[in-house]
């Protein structure tokens, strides 16, 4: 096969997130990358991509066949979490580099297997931790490294998911099953644990955790069905959503910016109160780092807004940041809320509509100097602008000239982040603290 000078990219898992990467290849970096292969259990999802983007990528349902026939340079892994190990290891063994979506995988054993495969094949894994590139998160890293607060020794990080929209969505889709997603401590908190590790500039060692279902799952709503679209209680249940009705899928897809008519067959309306929901909605985790630093983390999926609070205590000061992002998509507002002329909520539940904050702030309190505030822009698109940075790097090898922050994550960072979530899940189940091994 005559190889083109462009980076030959194949994508496995043609769902929601794949469209961001496909946009990155086709629209952001067409000079340096090309889409040569698409693989999904549903062939139509791959064919939809070619039709919508005008590409001619070969379409497969058989991943091994795609790797053998397409011979990609880079495989982009965008399947649900439980398949990441298989898809990453096979791509590395086929001689490809890998860009993987978070989380790296769902267990400590899988993380070690992935690192082994990376080492034996001498290929690279690009770990797509886009949150690191959000200006606020990068700045916190800078302040924890440059001595502004000394050496970080403890961190409080609380993360909130709004109960009616984003939070509930995890309980309405495949993420609601521990075996598919690893629960929120893997699928969601992997971002947060990576940030905490990066800000602490240390390696996690010991983990203890509690987890509960206080809001979703059985016993928390008078009406339980299988899916909203087939539910006999639809007219009474305040949790009814029409998000999966055929024409709504198309509308939703446009809202999300996809060119395709809708990610076919994506079920988003499972009843969040079904008895098969086995992930936690309320979690509390303690981590001790190699050098003694302590992280106190909590994640709650039943909060009336979306956001996070952070405090980092260092040997020479403290920094704090409080983030509230509570603006849902425009379509969501139209469907669920009516807002008065002064922004008051006249009808609807969940969010109170406000504008996105135009900036984020960090309050820095050095022990031996006046406190001060740092403002950072809030970039509304592409996960705070992080997506564009990771596509630049993974698809076009565009890296900053200097990288004092060590901003790009690799497999070992993915392993540490997954390891905290996996250890926390284990600790919740067993009641015992869990030690994280050294990844070799
Ligand atoms: N970094 C971020 O900000 C971000 C945002 C969203 C999703 N993600 C991650 O991206 C990944 C995909 O999430 P999503 O929301 O796109 O999910 P999704 O369900 O929309 O898409 C997953 C796709 O994978 C396909 N698939 C499942 N098993 C497969 C298999 N064995 N072989 C081939 N295809 C298979 C499904 O048919 C589906 O089309 C997850 O790991 C998720 O955590 C990351």
Ligand 1 contact via 181 beta carbon (within 6 Å): no
Domain ranges within the chain, ordered by starting residue: 131-216+276-435
Taking the CA of residue 174 as reference, the ligand 1 atom at the shortest distance is 19
Return the axis-axis angle of helices 63-70 and 84-93, rounded to nearest 10°.
Answer: 30
Kindly report, residue by residue over 201-239, the tens digit of the pLDDT: 999 999 999 999 999 999 999 999 999 888 999 888 888
Cβ of 15 closer than 6 Å to ligand 1, yes or no, is yes
pLDDT surpassing 70 at residue 2: no
Exposed/middle/buried for 350, CB within 10 Å: 0-12, 13-18, 19+? buried
Average pLDDT over residues 237-248: 66
> Does residue 111 have its Cβ closer than 6 Å to ligand 1?
no
Nearest residue to 312 via CA among 202, 437, 424, 422: 202
Mean pLDDT confidence for 283-312 = 95
Are 84 and 110 within 8 A, CB to CB?
yes
Q: Is the CB of 42 inside a 6 Å radius of any atom of ligand 1?
A: yes
Residue 175 beta carbon below 6 angstroms from any ligand 1 atom: no
Closest Cα partner for 126 from 144, 149, 106, 101? 101
Candidate from 101, 249, 394 with most ligand 1 atoms within 8 A of CB, to mutate: 101
Length of the chain: 440
Q: What is the per-residue pLDDT for 383?
A: 78
Which region among 236-245, 345-354, 362-371, 380-389 has the lowest average model confidence (pLDDT)? 345-354
Distances (CA, A) of 309 to 112, 197, 299, 322, 323: 32, 16, 11, 4, 6
pLDDT tens, position by position, 131-145:
999 999 999 999 999
Residue 156 half-sphere exposure, CB side, CA atoms within 13 Å? 8
Average per-residue pLDDT for the chain: 89
Q: What whole-number percentage of the chain has pLDDT above 90? A: 73
Which of 18-27, 173-182, 294-303, 327-336 has the weakest average pLDDT?
327-336
Percent of the chain with pLDDT over 70: 86
Residue 5 pLDDT grade (very low, low, confident, very high; cuts 50, 70, 90)? confident
Candidate from 114-123, 170-179, 330-339, 360-369 with smallest mean pLDDT: 330-339
Give the distance (Å) from ligand 1 centre to CA of residue 397: 24
The larger pLDDT score, comparing residue 76 to residue 440, is at 76
pLDDT grade for 337, boundaries at 50, 70 and 90: low
> Using alpha carbons only, how large is the chain's radius of gyration in Å?
22
**Is 101 a residue whose pLDDT tops 90?**
yes
Q: Which one of 80, 81, 325, 389 would you pick to mutate in the ligand 1 pocket, going by the greatest count of ligand atoms within 8 A of its CB? A: 80
Confidence of residue 314 (pLDDT cuts 50, 70, 90): very high
CATH architecture of 131-216+276-435: 2-Layer Sandwich (3.30)
- Give me the pLDDT at residue 81, please: 97
User: Is 79 near ligand 1, meaning CB less than 6 Å away?
Assistant: yes
Average pLDDT rounded to a whole number, residues 180-190: 98
Which has the minimum average pLDDT: 11-15, 251-255, 404-408, 424-428? 251-255
Q: Is the pLDDT of residue 330 over 60?
A: no
Å from CA of 266 to ligand 1 middle: 11
Q: What is the pLDDT of residue 329?
A: 46
| Distance from residue 18's CA to the centre of ligand 1 (Å) | 7
Would you state the structure tokens that stand for residue 360, as one six-digit string? 């984020």
252 lines ligand 1 (CB under 6 A): no
Ligand 1 mutation pick, 11, 14, 17, 191, max ligand atoms within 8 A of CB: 17
**Residue 180 Cβ contacting ligand 1 at under 6 Å:** no
Confidence of residue 68 (pLDDT cuts 50, 70, 90): very high
Q: Whose CA is nearest to atom 6 of ligand 1?
A: 17
Structure tokens at 209: 């955790």
268 pocket-lining for ligand 1 (C-beta < 6 Å): no
pLDDT of residue 356: 58
Q: How far is the CA of 220 from the centre of ligand 1 (A)?
A: 28
Global confidence as pTM = 0.92
128 Cα nearest atom in ligand 1 = 1
Taking the C-alpha atoms of residue 353 and residue 359, their distance in angstroms, rounded to an integer, is 17
- pLDDT exceeds cutoff 90 at 327: no
Which residue, judged by its Cα, is nearest atom 21 of ligand 1? Answer: 15
Q: Is the CB of 12 under 6 A from ligand 1?
A: yes
Other Cβ atoms within 10 Å of 59 Cβ, number: 19
- Ligand 1 center–CA 70 separation, angstroms: 21
pLDDT band, residue 256 (cuts 50/70/90): low
Residues 182 and 421: beta-carbon distance below 8 Å: yes
**Which of 65, 67, 78 maximizes ligand 1 atoms within 8 Å of its Cβ, making it the mutation to test the pocket?**
78
Instruction: Output the CA 35–ligand 1 centroid distance in Å.
Output: 18
C-alpha 72 to ligand 1 mean position (Å): 19
State the burial class of residue 240 (Cβ atoms within 10 Å of its Cβ: 0-12, 13-18, 19+). middle
- Indicate if the pLDDT at residue 164 is higher than 70: yes
pLDDT tier for residue 345 given thresholds of 50, 70 and 90: low
Query: How would residue 255 be classed by pLDDT, with cut points 50, 70 and 90?
Result: low
For the cut 60, the answer to whether the pLDDT of residue 1 exceeds it is: no
């Amino acid at each position: 096969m005559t190889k083109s000078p462009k980076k030959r990219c194949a994508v496995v898992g043609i769902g929601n997130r794949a469209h961001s990467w496909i946009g990155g290849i086709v629209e952001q970096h067409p000079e340096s990358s090309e889409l040569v292969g698409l693989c999904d259990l549903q062939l139509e999802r791959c064919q939809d991509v070619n039709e919508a983007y005008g590409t001619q990528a070969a379409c497969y349902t058989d991943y091994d066949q795609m790797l053998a026939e397409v011979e990609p340079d880079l495989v982009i892994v965008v399947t649900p979490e439980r398949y990441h190990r298989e898809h990453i290891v096979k791509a590395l063994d086929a001689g490809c580099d890998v860009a993987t979506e978070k989380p790296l995988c769902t267990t400590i054993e899988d993380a070690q297997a992935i690192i082994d495969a990376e080492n034996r094949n001498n290929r690279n894994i690009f770990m797509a931790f886009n949150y690191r590139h959000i200006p606020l998160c990068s700045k916190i890293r800078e302040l924890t490294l440059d001595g502004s607060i000394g050496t970080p020794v403890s961190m409080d990080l609380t993360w909130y998911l709004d109960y009616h929209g984003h939070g509930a969505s995890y309980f309405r889709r495949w993420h609601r099953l521990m075996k598919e997603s690893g629960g929120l401590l893997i699928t969601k908190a992997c971002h947060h644990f990576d940030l905490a590790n990066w800000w602490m500039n240390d390696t996690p060692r010991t983990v203890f955790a509690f987890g509960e279902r206080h809001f979703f799952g059985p016993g928390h709503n008078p009406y339980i069905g299988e899916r909203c679209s087939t539910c006999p209680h639809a007219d009474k249940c305040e949790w009814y959503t029409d998000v999966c009705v055929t024409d709504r899928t198309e509308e939703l897809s446009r809202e999300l910016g996809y060119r395709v008519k809708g990610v076919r067959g994506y079920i988003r309306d499972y009843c969040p109160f079904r008895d098969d929901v086995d992930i936690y909605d309320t979690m509390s985790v303690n981590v001790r780092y190699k050098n003694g630093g302590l992280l106190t983390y909590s994640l709650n999926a039943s909060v009336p807004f979306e956001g996070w609070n952070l405090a980092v205590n260092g040997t020479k000061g403290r920094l704090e940041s409080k983030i509230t992002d509570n603006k849902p998509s425009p379509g969501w507002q139209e469907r669920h809320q009516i807002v008065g002329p002064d922004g008051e909520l006249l009808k609807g539940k969940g969010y109170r509509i406000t504008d996105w904050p135009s900036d984020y702030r960090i309050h820095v309190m050095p022990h031996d100097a006046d406190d001060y505030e740092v403002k950072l822009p809030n970039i509304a698109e592409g996960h705070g602008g992080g997506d564009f940075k990771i596509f630049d790097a993974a698809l076009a090898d565009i890296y900053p000239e200097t990288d004092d922050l060590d901003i790009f994550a690799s497999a070992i960072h993915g392993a540490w982040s997954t390891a905290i979530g996996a250890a926390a899940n284990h600790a919740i189940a067993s009641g015992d603290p869990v030690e994280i091994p050294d990844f070799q």
